[in-house]
Amino acid sequence: MFIDEVKIHVRAGKGGNGVIHFRREKFVPRGGPDGGDGGKGGDIILEVVATLNTLLPFQHKTSFFAQDGANGSKSNMTGRSGEELVIPVPPGTVVYNAQSGEIIGDLVNPGQKLVVVKGGRGGRGNARFATSVNQVPRVAEKGEPGEEIQLHLELRLIADIGIVGVPNAGKSTLLAAVTNAKPKIADYPFTTLEPNLGVARLDDEHSLILADIPGLIEGAHLGFGLGYTFLRHIQRTRVLIHLLDGLSENPLLDFIQINSELALFDPDLARKPQIVALNKIDLPQVVERWPEFLSGFQNYLNQKKQEIIVVAEPYAISALAQKNLHPLLYRVLQALNESQKVIKIHEMPVYRSESDPQAFTIDKVRGGWRVSGKAIERAAKMTYWEHYQSVRRFQKILATLGVEQALREAGVQNGDTVFIGENELEWQD
């Protein structure tokens, strides 16, 4: 089964907790704090694996969680960092933020890696909070939560050559004839329901990677027929074989319509070099109409020569009888060598830091007040509420960020409940 779009949920590892601990050894008075820091949570990384050509593995597993960092320990021992989780993806995978639609990465080259979520840092142990005026700190931090996101993965096959045409033009037959691929072949429309890849070996030194795209009809860019979902797979190809059905009522009209659909989906597709081949030349009726087609085709190109790039005279072939296939492939190889050897890759968005990472909002909600903000919610999650000094430290953070003053200005009263993340606090002025 070919799967080219999936949504997955990924969550990086949580940082390990820092610990509160004091040295207690015989003959070592006032040993002092020695609580170690927690380890860093594991990252989640997408890595391109050349042998993959589908997103099928994500059909059965859609949630991925990296390992959490280990807690710190006594004697200033730092916890072990969580192992990173590497998720293999096929070449040509485009990664989006499923909620915002923003592109995160475009993975093309084998071995290419992309860190999609980062693990949380480990919490600091009480040894890190010792000062000259607080030599017995009973304060530490819990580990920072790991990043979490919903991803939309979209596969765009990477092939040298894309085979396009109307349904039943013989695209799958051509692919099967020149490669070891075994696509489904039948004489009814839309036999091919998914793209197929194959490698054609011309000789000991030359080979081509071909992609057979399901048949297109007029209105495909609007969703008619099999729609436009597979057109993305020829966006990275460098040359197109435009295969025409020799038994079609009007092969030239088919050629015009398909090019129109390509242009409406992506203007760059219509400007790709094309080599046109009229299929089923082994049939007498196709042989008879070949001169008429050739004349009409040349007249049309003379009118549209700057809009469509056809790099060779049309070929008359038979995919079923394997007639004239080698001349076609060698001409395709020549066009490939003449084309620009660049794979179109999405431009990554320019990173811009938040204008105020410590920003927060205060809302009146049923039962109290809700304080929302990345920095303050993270601080709440990293606080040991069972230790008085840790709570006092959190109160100082509230004052430093301006949350206390903002709550007073909003009208908070003694006894009101203040919600911060998953925590419920009682306001005492």
Q: What is the mean pLDDT of residues 60-69?
A: 94
Q: Where are the alpha helices (DSSP H) in 144-197?
A: 171-178
Within 10 Å of residue 349's Cβ, how many Cβ atoms? 9
User: What does the pLDDT read at residue 151?
Assistant: 94
- The answer to whether residue 244 scores a pLDDT higher than 50 is yes
User: What does the pLDDT read at residue 351?
Assistant: 46
User: What does the pLDDT read at residue 353?
Assistant: 45
- The answer to whether residue 1 scores a pLDDT higher than 50 is no
User: What does the pLDDT read at residue 345?
Assistant: 56
- The answer to whether residue 5 scores a pLDDT higher than 60 is yes
Q: Give the number of residues written for the chain.
A: 429
Q: Which of 226, 189, 187, 232 shows the shortest CA–CA distance to 211?
A: 232
- One-letter amino acid for residue 111 of the chain: G
Give the residues across from 207 on adjacent strands.
Answer: 201
138-170 per-residue burial string, b: 16 or more CB within 10 A, e: under 16: bbbbbbbbbbebebbbbbbbbbbbbbbbbbbbb
- The answer to whether residue 138 scores a pLDDT higher than 60 is yes
- The answer to whether residue 233 scores a pLDDT higher than 90 is no
Q: How far apart are CA 314 and CA 320, in angstroms?
A: 18
> Considering the entire predicted model, what is its pTM?
0.71
Give pLDDT tens digits for 326-380.
Answer: 999 899 888 888 876 555 555 555 444 444 667 889 999 888 899 998 889 999 9
Give pLDDT tens digits for 146-201.
Answer: 999 999 998 877 778 888 888 888 888 888 888 875 655 545 454 444 567 777 88
Is the CATH number of domain 1-155 3.30.1390.10?
no
- Which has more confidence, 309 or 403? 403
Per-residue tokens: 289? 């109409």
Confidence class for position 303, pLDDT limits 50, 70, 90: confident
Q: If you average pLDDT over every residue of the chain, what do you get?
A: 83
Q: How far apart are CA 393 and CA 326, in angstroms?
A: 77
Lowest mean pLDDT among 1-5, 258-262, 370-374: 1-5
Which CATH number describes the domain made up of 162-338? 3.40.50.300
Domain edges within the chain: 1-155, 162-338, 361-426
Q: How far apart are CA 44 and CA 119, in angstroms?
A: 8
Give pLDDT tens digits for 391-413.
Answer: 899 999 999 889 899 998 888 88
Alpha carbon of 169 to those of 102, 180, 313, 385: distances in Å?
37, 20, 19, 70
Sequence-ordered list of residues with C-beta below 8 angstroms from that of 304, at least 6 positions apart, any chain: none
How are strands ordered across the β-sheet holding 85-89? Answer: 85-89, 44-48, 113-117
Superfamily (CATH) of domain 361-426: GTP-binding protein OBG, C-terminal domain (3.30.300.350)
Q: Which of 404, 394, 373, 402 shows the shortest CA–CA distance to 141?
A: 394
Confidence class for position 37, pLDDT limits 50, 70, 90: very high
Alpha carbon of 101 to those of 46, 104, 152, 267, 379: distances in Å?
18, 9, 8, 22, 29
Quote the percentage of the chain above a pLDDT of 90: 29
Chain-centre distance for alpha carbon 198: 24
Q: Are 52 and 88 in contact (CB under 8 A)?
A: yes
